[in-house]
Amino acid sequence: MADAVHAVRFARVSLALVFGVACTGRVAALSGEDASGGTGGGPTTGGQAGQPSQGGQTPSIEDLVVMPRRLQRIGNDEFVWSLVDLVNGSEALRQSLQKGMPLESVGEHGFAQPGPLGLVEVDRLLEKAKLAAATVGFETRVDGKPLIACSATVAAGQAEATCATATLAALATRAYRRPLLTDEKADLVQVFADARAATGSTFLTALHTGVTAVFTSPAFLYHDEDPDQRPPGVAVVTDTALAAKLAATFWRSTPDAALTALATQQKLHNPDVLASEVKRLSEDPRSERGLIAFFDELLGTANLASVTRTSADKAWTAERASALADDLAKLIHDTLVTGDGRLVTLINKGLLAAGAVMAAQSQSNEASPIKRGRLVRERILCDPMPAPPPNVPVLPEPGQTPVSERERFAEHSRNPSCNVCHERMDPIGFAFAGYDHLGRAVAGSVDTSGKLVDVDGTTSRFANKDDLFAKLAQSDQARRCFATQWVRFALGRQVTAADSAGMERLFTGFADGNIKDLFAEVTRSAAFRQEKLEEVSQ
């Protein structure tokens, strides 16, 4: 009986997730295949509107849809981390590179999506490339080996051209994430030679120009690891391209020597080898980069340093923003890199109440139960909320009238046009009333009780934030949502109804909430390892 009840309820949840439940309470069929309304909302579940998957067969993970190959630019953090790794740069270099990177837009899948490169972006990337190139010296060592293929003494002699050729070829091979094409090598050598011929140049200054050319080459800036023409049709990506995808997903960087070696040996598609490499990558400290990128974008904490607060808030400083980001990173690291890797642990440890999240999900002058509730609603439960209607009533200023925070925000619940959405957000947001807009714990006793309206409309009350976390940690909806969000992030695209069978398989495998296993499953998917090749038309 309990199973039957669960099945009925699960079907209702699936229905809501597939079609999206608008705040009006109506089940709104969306026009496209996607279930989310296009803003990183609801996850897709099995089949059509709650129908079981095909004929009771166990669907294969390979059912995640294979997409056509498109020229994809590397993102900001991949650009920065790659440069840092390629020149074995310092933390100071990373910070310098990070500052002022071009803005990235958010794709329909709810995560950053690098757009076309325009003048602004090219200008900025050139500046960053020069900055990284200028750090290259004879003392620079990468993986224990000198980056420059000769000593300063040799470079001063006739052999410098040979040295520059070897240096640039090795660097470009790593930067381009694939073997160099013949003309690419010759082109880089020519850049060096021209720079070296200029008055006042030195071996190093000319080499820096060549290195800058590597870092601004489209072969570095785009994922173009398979330059050979292949017949149209669905095909597995080359081992070289797979290595690049793995490094980009987990490390936001270029493959290391071990990954490159496996790709060269064409072993990466072997399931055991792939699983082993995913384990290695996800347990390497560099995996924190991919994880932080994911959680920052998921929770809206990516640009904490640029969050504005009123000038009266002297406590809000760049140092505080940085410290909050570090705290969040540590929580993620301790749980997912060195810990048990489980979603329930992550939630129970207070991911959603981390200071960085609390500060990011606030107004400039006060905490916002609406923003915090909306975050949980949309990003943790994948239940998209529509934009506010016009003529939103103005809430009383904080402290203006002697009413509690709940009373101030109660206006939303009294107003019928607001209520249908806000009753799904605000009561969740009240769980975080113990944190102010700077992410600090509020002194004294605070009422953090509220209620959680499920996507199927059922309501459960929670006594405090920990109670909410416990409910979320056990929530099937939250677990499915998390898996969906990771798939979106890892594939860089929206999840559609066509992915349903594959997603169901993922959900099943993720029943225990082991995030590390989820990572491995996604990398095994057809969508990750295959691509649809099209006839190249000129």
The residues binding another protein (CB under 8 A) are 68, 70-71, 73, 98-100, 102-103, 116-124, 126-127, 129-130, 134, 183-184, 187-188, 191, 194-195, 198, 205, 208-209, 212-213, 216-219, 221-222, 224, 227, 229, 305-306, 317-318, 534-538
206/421 with CB nearer another protein: 206
Whichever of 97 and 472 has its CB closer to another protein, that residue is 97
Phi, psi of 362 (to 5 degrees): -140, 165
Instruction: Report the alpha-carbon distance of residue 522 to residue 323 in Å, rounded.
Output: 32
Least Cβ distance, residue 177 to another protein (angstroms): 15
Residue 371 CA: distances (Å) to CA of 182, 307, 506: 54, 14, 30
Sheet strands (E) in 338-380? none
Residue 498, both tokens: 């066509």
Q: What's the closest the beta carbon of residue 78 comes to another protein, in angstroms?
A: 17
Q: Please, which residue, 315 or 318, has the CB nearer to another protein?
A: 318
Alpha carbons 405 and 399: distance in angstroms, whole number? 9
Min CB(316)–another protein separation in Å: 10
Which structure tokens are listed for 27?
């089940």
Nearer to another protein, 205 or 338 (CB): 205
Question: Which pair of structure tokens corresponds to residue 180?
Answer: 């160099």
Tokens 């398989």 belong to which residue? 505
Residue 204: how many other CB atoms lie within 10 Å:
16
Residue placing its CB nearer to another protein in the complex, 3 or 535: 535
Q: How far is the CB of 116 from another protein (least distance, A)?
A: 4
Q: Tell me, what DSSP letter sits at residue 167?
A: H
CB neighbour list of residue 94: distance below 8 Å, 6 or more residues apart: 80, 81, 84
Q: Which is nearer to another protein, 229 or 401 (CB)?
A: 229
Least CB distance to another protein at residue 119 (A): 4
Please, which residue, 198 or 258, has the CB nearer to another protein? 198
Tell me how far, at minimum, the Cβ of 196 lies from another protein, in Å.
Answer: 11
Report, in Å, the least distance between residue 234 CB and another protein.
Answer: 16
CA 26/CA 398 separation, integer angstroms: 34
Q: Residue 150 and residue 160: Cα distance in Å, rounded?
A: 8
Closest by Cα among 7, 6, 41, 5 to 23? 41
* Residue nearer to another protein on the CB measure, 218 or 457: 218
Shortest distance (Å) from residue 536 CB to another protein: 4
**In three state form, how does the secondary structure of 20-49 look?**
CECCCCCECCCCCCCCCCCCCCCCCCCCCC
